[in-house]
A and B are shown apart, each in its own frame.
Chain A
Amino acid sequence: METPVVAVLMLVLLSGQSVTARVLTEVEPRNYDYTKYHPLPEITAWMKQIETENPEVVSSTVYGKSYENRDIAFLKIGLKSTENKKAIWMDCGIHAREWISPAFCQHFVKEILRTYKTDTKVGEMLKNLDFYITPVLNVDGYTYTWTDNTTRLWRKNRSPGTGGCNCTGTDLNRNYEAVWGTIGVSTNCCSIIYHGPEATSEAETKAVVDFVQSKSKDILCFLTIHSFGQMILFPYGHPNIKAPNYDELTEVVNAAAKAVKAVHGMDYVVGSLTEALYPAGGTSMDWARLVGIPYSFTFELRDKGVHGFVLPEDQIQPTCEEAYEGARSIITYVHDKAFYNAAASVTATLWTTVLASTLLALL
C-alpha cells in the first residue's frame, strides 16, 4: 500500500506547484482593441483599467512629467512580494511617430497578464521579477502626431529650442548621458536628431534616469522599443566602444531573432547599434548599460521601409506576436541566468538522473 502513497508524494513534489492552487478565470479588459492604434487618452484609460482588473499583480506609478506637464507613467507587473525583487524595464514610444511601439507595450502587458496563471514560465517570471512597462514615454510628441496629417511624422519631444534657436523638440534618444553629443547627432535645434542643450536636459529623460538609477542594482534587463527596421540591437552606438560580453550579447540576439522568425517568417537583423544601423551617441540603451544594467537592447519593429512609420493596423497583431517571442526569449535568458546559475543546473541534472534511475529500480 505504500506504493500509491509514494506515487502521490512523487507527483506532488514533481509538479512543483501547490496542491491547493486556485484556478482563476483569465481577466482582460473587455472591449479594448489591441489591433488598432490608440491616442494617448485611450492608452491612459486602458492603463487604469488594467490596474483595476488585476490588482494582485498590477500597480501604476507616475514617475515624471513631460515638458507640457503630462504624466509619464509605468505599469508595474509582478506577483507581490515582501522581498526586494529583481526587475525588467521596458519603454515604448520614445519616438513619437513610431506608433507600433506603444501598440507593442500594450500587447505585451495583455499577454503576460493573460498567461501568467497558465504558462508556468511566465508565472515563474512574474513571481521572481517585476516588469516596469512604460507604454508611452514621449507623451507630448505622441500626442502631437495625432493632431493632423501634417504632424504624423514628428519624432522628437515638444520642448522649445534654447539659446536663440527657434525650432521645437529634442531627440530623446540622443539626450542620455552616454557619449552624449559625440556622433550621430546635431547641435542644431531644428534638426530631427538634435541632442538637446545638454545631456539629460529633457524632463522625459530625467524621469527615466531618476527612476532607473534608483533601481539600477535590481534591473536585470533594459528594453527600449522602436520602429522601423526589423532589428534587435545591443550597445554601443559609438564605433570605438565594444561591450566586453559582445559574443554573449550576439548569441542572445541571435536566439531572439530566431524566436521572432519562427512566428511569421520575418527576418530581423541583429548586432550592435553602431555596426548594424549607425553610430549614435546619447541613446537610452547605452546609458542603461553604462549605469550597470547588464542586458540592454533596442528593438526596431516592422517593417523595412515599404510603409515605414505608418505601419497598417492589420500588421499590428502579427508584429506584436513576433516581437513578443523575441522579447520573451531575451527575458527568459536573463531570468534563468539570474535565478538558475550553472552550478545549480548541473546539480539539478545530477539529482534528476539519480531520481530517474531510482524510479526505474522501483518498477
Chain B
Amino acid sequence: MSRPLCALWVFMVLLGDRLASPYRPETEPLDPEPHEANSIVELEVPPELDGTMSDGELVPHHYPAQRAAKVVQHYLNTRHGSPYRWIELHRVNKASLEDLGQAGKKYYLEISLKEVISNTDLGQCSAEVLFSGEQDQGAPQVQCPCEGLQKLNTTAEEEALFQRLNSSATPLSGSNIPDSYGHIAPEMKPLWHLGAAAASFVMLKESNESTLYNMAQVANITQLETENGQLRFKYHVLLHDMISQEILHWKLLVSWSPAGGVSVLQTEGQPKPAESTPEDTAPTSAS
C-alpha cells in the first residue's frame, strides 16, 4: 500500500474509534411510571418463596441466620469473655432451620469466630440454637463446642489486672466508655471488655428471632468491695437492639476473677419496650 493511502486508512480507523466511543443513549428508568410515587409496579413475591432455600436451608448472610449466630456469640462471651477476651462472630458459612412446632425453632449453624483483642482467628465452629416455642420465652439454648477457644491464654494479663484492682487504695470508677468520639482510655479497655462480657448474659437471655443485640456503651462503672476472692463492680450498660433500634439501659452487679470468670449476680433493667416491636403494625395487603 502506498504511504499516503496508508496514512489515510489509519486516520479513518482512528476517527471511527473516536466516533464509536462516548455514546449517550436516553436512559430509561426501569420503573415505567416515574410520576406515580408509591405505586408499586414491582413483582410481588409470596412470602413462603423468598429467603429460605429447600429443606430448611437458610441463606447464611440473610438476617434469620445472622440473628441466630449472634446468640452464639453472646453465649460464648458469657463463658469465655473476660477483660482480655472478646469473641466476635466473623461470618456465617452455612445455616439451616428446623421447625420443632411447640418445642420451638432450632438453628444449625457453621460459623467462623474471631477473638478481637488478640486478633486470633478461632476457625470454624458448629453451633445449635434453640428458640423456645412458648409464649413466655426463656433464654435461647445454645450448643457450641468450639475447639478453637482452647488456643486462648490470657492468664498473665488477667492476674496482673486482678492484683492491681484488688490492692488499689481507691476503687475504680469511670463513665462513658467509649466516649462520643469512640475513644477509650487504655486503662479502661479491660473494664470495657468485662462490661461487654457481663452484658452478654443479659443479651443472651433477652435474645429471640427478632432481636440482634450489641453493647453500645458502658454508661458507668463503679468498683465495689472484693468479696469471696472476686472483684465486684456495679455496671450501667447501654444495649442496642438492631431490629427495634432501641437503646436499653441495664444495671448489673458483676463479679470477676481470673479463675472464676465473669458472673452477673443481679440485673435491673428494661426488657425491649413492647410498643416498639417490629410486629407492632402487622403488614396489610400491599396497597
Contact = CB atoms under 8 A, between A and B. Distances in A.
Contacts of A269: 61, 66
Nearest to B51: A275
Contacts of B243: 278
Interface in A224-244: 229, 236, 238-244
Interface string A175-197: 00111111111111011110000
A190 B275 contact: yes
Interface in A155-208: 155, 171, 177-188, 190-193, 199
A10 B14 contact: yes
Interface stretch (B33-41, B143-151, B156-164): B33-41
Nearest to B175: A149
A36 B182 CA distance: 11
Interface stretch (B21-29, B130-138, B223-231, B251-259): B21-29
Interface in B50-76: 50-51, 59, 61-63, 66
A310 B180 contact: yes
B175 A182 contact: no
A86 B24 CA distance: 11
B278 A183 contact: yes
Interface centre among B27, B29, B179, B182, by most chain A C-beta atoms within 10 angstroms, is B182
B244 A13 contact: no
A308 interface: yes
Interface stretch (A56-64, A115-123, A290-298, A322-330): A290-298
Contacts of A240: 44-47, 283, 286
A216 interface: yes
A32 interface: no
B6 interface: yes
A348 B21 contact: yes
B4 interface: yes
Interface residues of B, number: 79
A206 to B, nearest CB: 13
Nearest to A314: B182
Interface residues of A, number: 95
Given A275-B50, A291-B34, A244 B24 contact: no
A236 B178 contact: no
B40 A290 contact: yes
A279 interface: yes
Contacts of B86: 306
A351 interface: yes
Contacts of A182: 281, 283-284
A186 B34 contact: no
Contacts of B179: 149, 310
Contacts of B216: 153, 308-310
A220 B27 CA distance: 8
Interface of A: 2-3, 5-6, 9-10, 13-14, 16, 36-37, 86, 128, 145-146, 149, 152-153, 155, 171, 177-188, 190-193, 199, 213, 216-217, 220, 229, 236, 238-245, 267, 269-271, 275-280, 287, 289-294, 304-313, 315, 338-341, 343-344, 347-348, 350-352, 354-355, 358-359, 362
Top 9 A-B pairs, shortest CB-CB distance:
A292-B34, A305-B214, A312-B182, A344-B23, A191-B276, A292-B29, A347-B20, A351-B17, A310-B182
